[in-house]
Structure formats: C-alpha cells, structure tokens
Amino acid sequence: MAEHRYNPSMRIDVLTLFPGMFEGPLTESILQRAREQGLLDIRFHDLRQFGLGKYHQVDDAPYGGGAGMVMRPDVLVQAIEEVIAEGLEGQKGKKKMKGPWCIYFSPRGKKLKQAKAERVAKKEWLLLLCGHYEGIDQRVIDGWIDEEMSIGDYVLTGGELPAMVLIDAVARQIPGVLGKDESAEQESFSKALGRKKEYPHYTRPEDFRGMKVPPVLLSGNHKEIECWRQAQVQ
Ligand code: 4G1
C-alpha cells in the first residue's frame, strides 16, 4: 500500500576549494541516512576546477593593498553560473524550480540562529559558497549572493566548517530526516521549553560513583519533572 506522505527533499550545491573536508561529517549517521533516502541531495564542486591558467589560479592580491589574497569574481561567478545551469538542466521535465538560495559564509554575515535554520530549511535548493584567504571579491556578494551568514565571532581558515554547521542544522528540519522518536522529542521539547537552553540529562546508573540522579527524575511524577526541567533552563 502506498503510504500517503509527501516527499520534500532539498538539493544543496557546495562550492569549495576543499571538497574533501566534507567527507567525514556528511557521510555518517543521520546525514548519510538522509542522503541515502533521497531527502538530501548534496553535491560538491571544486572551485579549483574553475581557476585560471596553468595553475588554476582562484585568488589575487587585494586592490588597495594589504595582506593576503582575495578570491576572484570571474572564477567564482563562472562556478556559480555553471552549477546553477547544470541544476536547472537536471530539472527539465520535472517540476519547475526557482534558482537556488545563495549563501556566502563570512564573519561579516548575520549570525546563524535556530529560527534562521528553520527558515532556510524551507528552501528547496541551496548554493553554499565557502571562502578562503581573506574572503571573496565584494562584487560577487553584491550581485549573486542572497544572504551572508556567520556562525560566530572568531577567526577561521575557511567557510567549510560553517557550511557543515548550516547543513546539519537545516537537514534535521527536513521532514523524514529524523526518526519518529527523535522528531517527537524535538516537538515536545520546543513546545514545553521554547527555543531556550537545554535541561541537564541523566541515564543509568542511578548512582554513579556516589553521584546520584536528582530524585525528582525517578519519581514518575511528570508534572514535577516538567517543573524541575523548566527551572533548570532559566
Ligand atoms: C575578521 C568566522 C576575519 C569566520 C574577523 C565565522 C574573522 C564564515 C566564517 C575573520 C568565518 C573575524 C564564520 C576570519 C570565515 C574568509 C575565509 C573569511 C575565512 C574567513 C571575526 C577568515 N562564519 N573566515 N576571516 O575568520 O569565513 O562563516
């Protein structure tokens, strides 16, 4: 019997100089299962392949001087446009899809929060651009990027880890990616406690090296347990 369940899935194209960095985190556990189930279609594109000349140059010195290198706009836009064209090509015959929502990870972007992850999860196609060196030419951001996003205030070597953080946060919002139990837990969690902090967790054994589980959690009184947890997140 055909189960009556719609099958929303998300396509994510990642443009990066280091596609190998994504291998571990996205091929294990929940994300790998989601990819195998066809809920997540993630493709990596090596920016080096779009580089110029014999050495596939992707960066150049900054106008105005200063340290470091900047990623060239011609290389980046060539890559962006090819990836979009290829994606639209693959859609022929199927449902018409808008172009991707293009995100560039940068310390100048707005900070990623849960509400943002939930909004981004509603898109059906994301293009994630990972910067390196000092970043990318501003004209790419002005002309091709829909959203500049940061994961926090610290110095990183590139946008790959931020991209993985976003993929993880977004993927678990896609219906079917989490198991029934996991998503039920998530729902009751957000209903009862809002999107605040988590409460402390305990599991067996009840007494671990003299450290006891708070008695209220063993009481079986769901009202009181809820009350205790609520108090812990304030
Ligand atoms: C100035 C941090 C530079 C860094 C000030 C969070 C950081 C992308 C992020 C940098 C990056 C601060 C992020 C810095 C990031 C181009 C490639 C920029 C690496 C780059 C606070 C290096 N969230 N950093 N510059 O880290 O991409 O998304």
Instruction: Give the pLDDT confidence of 104-133 residue by residue, as tens digits.
Output: 999 999 999 999 999 999 999 999 999 999
15 with 119, same domain?
yes
Closest residue by Cα to atom 16, ligand 1, is: 135
Picking from 171, 191, 219, the residue at the C-terminal end of a domain is: 171
Nearest atom (ligand 1) to Cα of 150: 23
63 backbone dihedrals φ, ψ, rounded to 5°? -60, 140
Q: How many Å apart are CA 33 and CA 177, to the nearest integer?
A: 8
Average pLDDT over residues 23-33: 92
Query: Which pLDDT score, from 0 to 100, does residue 1 have?
Result: 45
67 lines ligand 1 (CB under 6 A): no
Contacts of 200 (CB under 8 A, 6+ apart): 232
Q: Give the N- to C-terminal CA distance of the chain in Å, as an integer.
A: 47
Q: How many Å apart are CA 171 and CA 174, to the nearest integer?
A: 5
206 with 167, same domain?
no
pLDDT tens digits, 205-214: 999 999 999 9
Contacts of 226 (CB under 8 A, 6+ apart): 192
122 with 53, same domain?
yes
109 with 213, same domain?
no
pLDDT at position 102 over 90: yes
140 with 53, same domain?
yes
Kindly tell me the sign of the dihedral angle through the C-alpha atoms of 93, 94, 98, 103.
negative
Query: Which pLDDT score, from 0 to 100, does residue 52 have?
Result: 98
CATH of the domain at 28: 3.40.1280.10
Q: How many Å apart are CA 203 and CA 13, to the nearest integer?
A: 40
123 with 85, same domain?
yes
Ligand 1: which of 18, 156, 157, 161 to mutate, judged by most atoms within 8 Å of the beta carbon? 156
